[in-house]
Structure 1
Amino acid sequence: MIDAIEVRGLSKSFRAGHKALDEVNLSVAPGEMVALLGASGSGKSTLLRHLAGFVAADRGDSYVRVNGREVQRNGRIHPKVRQVRAEIGFVFQQFNLVGRLPVITNVLVGMLPRVPMWRSLLRHFRHDEVRVGMEALAQVGIDHYARQRASTLSGGQQQRAAIARTLVQNAGVILADEPIASLDPESSRKVMDTLAHINRTRKVAVVVSLHQVDVALRYCPRVVALRHGRVVYDGPAAALTESMLRQLYGADVAELLPVEGGRLVASPPSLAAQPMAAAA
């Protein structure tokens, strides 16, 4: 079976003596949901941007492949990376929607890799394409906002619109860079429910960068933890311990998640394992 994501020997230096990524190796199977954990500056966002081919790694023996297709190798972005990127949905922390445009138009931007240039420039989409966009909005629970300007939506609704854009894109891999960092708890829950629902029903590999340890435990069976650009833990979320979190964050673990006897307290059963309720 071809891995959804395969990374070998990935390093990135932004200034002398500091490596944002240091010999990262990672494999993600199709249909996996994986949380990236680590303190600010640990390399989570940098890794995601390398996976999408937004940034080239340092020169050296390394590569990144998504769905078996090369994104970059030895510090060079593949010449046909746009074709690979068409299969990668990227959910940004700040939504990346055009506020003055209707929500449905923002969602249909996900079709641009498959739409002729003249139609994309004129924002001319066929009825069948609009129907696909509306179905995507319905799946994330905000189809009734389709004709409103994106700027009128709440932060959580805008993030779900961004996720709908990846559905229209028909992405085989979704990379989410701290998608709930600026959201309130209820909006965060709805966004994570949406990602988990897509992962479960479409068998799409999802890699989500998070600061919230409890959220990672609730939604992601597997955790990859970074510290100073290196992978220091890659395994079951349930096996994380207080000492591991101290190593990662250098903080009082009680501030991150309650623990008992050095073991993380189990989170409630994930809503990801249940049918997603209609989002308000």
Structure 2
Amino acid sequence: MNPLLRIRHLDKHFANGKHALRDINLDIARGEMVALIGASGSGKSTLLRHVAGLVAADGGSESMIEIDGCCVQQGGRIHRDIRKVRSQVGFVFQQFNLVARLPVLVNVLVGSLHRMPWWRSWMRMFNAQERALALDALSRVGIADCHAQRASTLSGGQQQRAAIARTLVQGAKVVLADEPIASLDPESSRKVMEILARINREDGCTVVVSLHQVDIAMKYCARVVALNQGQVVFDGPSASLTPALLRSLYGVQAEELLRPATPSAEGASVHVLPQPHAMPWAAQAA
């Protein structure tokens, strides 16, 4: 079976000289839910942005990224038909990327812009069928009753669910979620991860989610890809990620990944180091 996502020889240097990605080679099958883990600065966000065609790899390199047989970029050049390819890629950002002053329903309807004539998208003229699709997506993520509110009035967890609803309306084949729970409390984090797992299961959507917390990766994703200093240092079953293995891969940075989030008395997220023996992841439219 051909993989839905193919990455070959992906290298990226930034202007400051940092070697952010080092010869990344990955295949991700249709319908997989994969966790991308790593300590801060390991290259997770950079990798996802390359897959979405938001950033180009090193010029003149042998890099190549394909989604469902369509080229995203090759040799450090974004493909000329990237808008068409990008319409199949839903991107869930850590900071939600909603337009705060617009109603939630309109923010979700943005996911349908790539299917509309330019004049309708420019005037935000959505028909009844498109509105029904957006309301159904909001219902699936549990916030249909918020559809008329301004996005700025929602909690962080609700805003992230609206962002996921936007990818449902988009009809994305691949959802890339970049630290989608990093700024959320534990209960909101659980809801967001369960929604991602459900659309992966029910819609057959391929989901790649970057995460800091290994316990959450193990709970929701059968496969984990671990990055360290821009390199893939582990690619396999999440059940194989023991504390000992993580410490051998990351050294002292492993504690950042081994820290489960627990609710404080005020409901905020605090971190508690585990005992040594304990171990329990807006698309651009048009």
Output the TM-score relative to the length of structure 1: 0.91
Deviation at 1:33, TM superposition (A): 0.4
State the secondary structure of the residue aligned to 2:160. helix
Aligned AA for 1:132?
L
Inter-partner Cα distance in structure 2 for 1:67 and 1:53: 14
Inter-partner Cα distance in structure 1 for 2:79 and 2:96: 26
The 1:129–1:244 alpha-carbon spacing in structure 2 relative to 1, beyond 3 Å, is: same
Deviation at 1:221, TM superposition (A): 0.6
Structure 1 equivalent of residue 4 of structure 2: 4
The 1:249–1:193 alpha-carbon spacing in structure 2 relative to 1, beyond 3 Å, is: farther
The 1:87–1:249 alpha-carbon spacing in structure 2 relative to 1, beyond 3 Å, is: farther
The 1:23–1:174 alpha-carbon spacing in structure 2 relative to 1, beyond 3 Å, is: same
Deviations 1:28-87 (A, max 9, x none): 001100000001110000000000000000121110001111000010000000000000
Structure 2 equivalent of residue 56 of structure 1: 56
Structure 2 equivalent of residue 212 of structure 1: 213
Inter-partner Cα distance in structure 1 for 2:145 and 2:133: 15
Structure 2 equivalent of residue 92 of structure 1: 93
Structure 1 regions of 5+ residues with no counterpart? 268-280
Aligned AA for 1:171?
A
Structure 2 equivalent of residue 27 of structure 1: 27
Q: What percentage of residue pairs aligned between the two structures are identical?
A: 59
Residues 1-280 of structure 1 aligned to structure 2 (within 5 Å): 1-15=1-15, 17-59=17-59, 60-246=61-247, 247-248=249-250, 250-251=252-253, 253=255, 256=259, 258=274, 265=279, 267=280
The 1:251–1:228 alpha-carbon spacing in structure 2 relative to 1, beyond 3 Å, is: closer
Inter-partner Cα distance in structure 1 for 2:254 and 2:214: 13
State the secondary structure of the residue aligned to 2:145. helix
Aligned AA for 2:30?
P
- Length, aligned pairs only: 264
Deviations 1:152-172 (A, max 9, x none): 100000000000000000000
Structure 2 equivalent of residue 272 of structure 1: none
Deviation at 1:2, TM superposition (A): 2.8
Aligned AA for 2:160?
Q
Inter-partner Cα distance in structure 2 for 1:188 and 1:119: 35
Aligned AA for 1:4?
L
The 10-residue stretch of structure 1 (184-193 or 58-67) with the greater mean CA deviation from structure 2: 58-67
Aligned AA for 1:66?
I
State the secondary structure of the residue aligned to 2:126. coil
Aligned AA for 2:11?
S
Inter-partner Cα distance in structure 1 for 2:48 and 2:152: 26
- Computed over aligned residues only, the root mean square deviation of the Cα atoms, in angstroms, reads 1.5
State the secondary structure of the residue aligned to 1:196. helix
Aligned AA for 2:188?
S
Aligned AA for 1:33?
M
Aligned AA for 1:111?
S
Structure 2 regions of 5+ residues with no counterpart? 261-273, 281-286
Deviation at 1:248, TM superposition (A): 2.6
| Aligned partners of 1:87 and 1:173 also within 8 Å | yes
Inter-partner Cα distance in structure 2 for 1:104 and 1:12: 37
Structure 2 equivalent of residue 274 of structure 1: none
Deviations 1:115-149 (A, max 9, x none): 11111111110000000000000010101100111
